[in-house]
């Protein structure tokens, strides 16, 4: 072979071998490995995966009611203390307000929990929108699940608007780094979203659930919250149309009545009763309900209770937890007709300690 032929041959051989390399030696599919545990990729392939994901949204509610809720002072105090009914014999940023700072751990935790609930709801909504036929077997369950996710998301937006006003709006699941810093909302945008979520949920949710599913959101739950949100928006914008819409929503609530026994509303054994629109389903973890551990800790000990110890002045139950006693205000006491039979059931008129939640503990 002369030199030129040699080079030609070398070039030819390299091309052939190059082709071999590109096509045969390495199959790019080899890179498509998946982990040997459940991930999103392998999940949402059967109906029960979806129902579990919906239960996961409900579970986030626990963080609002959990007795020792992070950071150990409980988020429910944000619901109760700013009002004029319940007070505390201690300095508390939500009682005195003067000491309330943006850096308050309770405020940022409340904010975080709202968005965590929204994130769970957004995930379920995304997955339901993508679900192929044949995964959902139970009739209507797909609609119910979608309604539950919308209802719970509306619940979180309602609180966000109520407490933070202009917090960001996230209606899509965060999957990209450029979704980290959305702009704040203005006006009643959050409330608008809550109203839209509740309206849609009211059309999707069932009138009632089977006995074993009692506690899940129903049409009544959605209409109740829808009406409430419309009233809130009406007060903010003075729009009469909202008041009218609220009336329409409330009128859609059916099949409920006041309970004959006032105390049934506060007894955990009768928490779901004729008066219920939507109840937080306090329970206890199957091993030990460890009030120091969040629901997300695990199934066995993560707290799923709403312990009313803060109304209980039995030192043996909560002295060690370092919480001050919550009791009724004088204004609250004076609001009762002294002969009202509900007074004695609600509080001890002599020292204004709250009775209703702890009567049946």
Give residues 284-323 in contact with another protein (rule: CB under 8 A). 284-286, 295-299, 302, 304
CB of 351 to another protein, least distance (A): 27
Q: Which stretch binds another protein (CB under 8 A): 135-143, 218-226, 235-243, 281-289?
A: 281-289
Nearer to another protein, 71 or 341 (CB): 71
Are the C-beta atoms of 184 and 190 separated by less than 8 Å?
no
Window 224-263: residues binding another protein (CB under 8 A)? none
- Contact with another protein (CB under 8 A) among 2, 4, 25, 238: 25
Provide the terminal-to-terminal Cα distance of the chain, rounded to the nearest Å. 101
- Contact with another protein (CB under 8 A) among 100, 135, 141, 174: 174
Q: Is 165 in the site for another protein (CB under 8 A)?
A: no
Number of residues that bind another protein (CB under 8 A): 88
Q: Which stretch binds another protein (CB under 8 A): 52-60, 224-232, 249-257, 328-336?
A: 52-60
Q: Is 271 in the site for another protein (CB under 8 A)?
A: yes
CB of 186 to another protein, least distance (A): 16
Give the length of the chain.
Answer: 361
In this structure, what are the phi and psi dihedrals at residue 327, rounded to the nearest 5 degrees? -145, 170
Nearer to another protein, 12 or 335 (CB): 12
What x/- string results for residues 87 through 126 when contact with another protein is judged by CB under 8 A? Answer: ---------------------x--xx--xxxxxx-xx---
CB of 1 to another protein, least distance (A): 8
Q: Which two tokens stand for residue 118?
A: 């929204």
Full DSSP string of 209-259 = --GGGBTB--HHHHHHHHHHHHHHHHHHH--HHHHHHHHHHHHT--S----
Nearer to another protein, 234 or 301 (CB): 301
Task: Return d(Cα 199, Cα 217) in angstroms, integer.
Answer: 13
Task: Return d(Cα 34, Cα 39) in angstroms, integer.
Answer: 9
Vertex 261 angle, CA 248 and 311, to 5°: 95
Nearer to another protein, 33 or 240 (CB): 33
What's the distance, CA 88 to chain centroid?
27
Annotate 65-104 with b (16+ C-beta within 10 A) or e (fewer). Answer: bbbbbbeebbbbbbbbbeeeebbbeeebbbbeeeeeeeeb
- Contact with another protein (CB under 8 A) among 26, 172, 247, 274: 26
What x/- string results for residues 191 through 230 when contact with another protein is judged by CB under 8 A? Answer: --------------------xxxxxx--------------
**Burial degree of 330 (CB within 10 A; 0-12, 13-18, 19+):** exposed
CB of 94 to another protein, least distance (A): 19
Q: Is 345 in the site for another protein (CB under 8 A)?
A: no
CB of 14 to another protein, least distance (A): 5
Are the C-beta atoms of 272 and 256 separated by less than 8 Å?
no
């Amino acid at each position: 072979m002369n030199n030129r032929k040699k080079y030609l041959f070398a070039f030819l051989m390299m091309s052939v071998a190059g082709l071999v390399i590109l096509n045969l030696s390495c199959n790019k599919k080899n890179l498509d490995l998946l982990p040997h545990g459940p991930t999103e990729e392998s999940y949402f392939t059967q109906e029960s995966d979806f129902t579990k994901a919906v239960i996961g949204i409900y579970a986030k509610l626990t963080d609002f009611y959990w007795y020792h809720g992070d950071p150990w002072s409980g988020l429910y105090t944000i619901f109760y203390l700013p009002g004029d009914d319940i007070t505390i014999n201690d300095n508390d940023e939500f009682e005195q307000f003067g000491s309330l700072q943006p850096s308050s751990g309770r405020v940022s935790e409340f904010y975080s929990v709202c968005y965590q609930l929204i994130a769970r709801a957004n995930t379920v909504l995304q997955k339901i929108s993508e679900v192929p036929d044949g995964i959902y077997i139970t009739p209507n369950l797909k609609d119910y699940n979608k309604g539950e996710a919308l209802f719970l998301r509306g619940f979180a937006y309602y609180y966000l608007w109520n407490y933070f006003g202009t917090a960001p709006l996230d209606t899509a699941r965060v999957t990209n780094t450029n979704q980290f810093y959305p702009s704040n909302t203005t006006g009643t945008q959050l409330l608008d979203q809550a109203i839209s979520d509740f309206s849609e949920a009211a059309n999707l949710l069932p009138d009632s659930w089977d006995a074993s599913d009692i506690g899940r959101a129903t049409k009544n739950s959605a209409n109740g919250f829808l009406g409430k949100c419309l009233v809130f928006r009406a007060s903010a914008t003075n729009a009469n149309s909202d008041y009218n819409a609220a009336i329409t929503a409330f009128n859609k609530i059916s099949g409920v009545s006041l309970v004959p026994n006032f105390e049934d509303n506060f007894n955990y054994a009768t928490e779901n009763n004729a008066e219920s629109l939507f109840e937080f389903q306090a329970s206890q973890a199957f091993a030990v309900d460890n009030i120091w551990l969040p629901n997300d800790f695990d199934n066995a000990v993560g707290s799923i209770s709403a312990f009313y110890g803060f109304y209980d002045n039995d030192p043996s139950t909560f002295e060690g937890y370092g919480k001050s006693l919550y009791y009724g205000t004088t204004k609250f006491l004076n609001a009762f007709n002294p002969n009202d039979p509900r007074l004695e059931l609600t509080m001890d008129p002599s020292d204004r300690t709250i009775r209703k939640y702890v009567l049946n503990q």
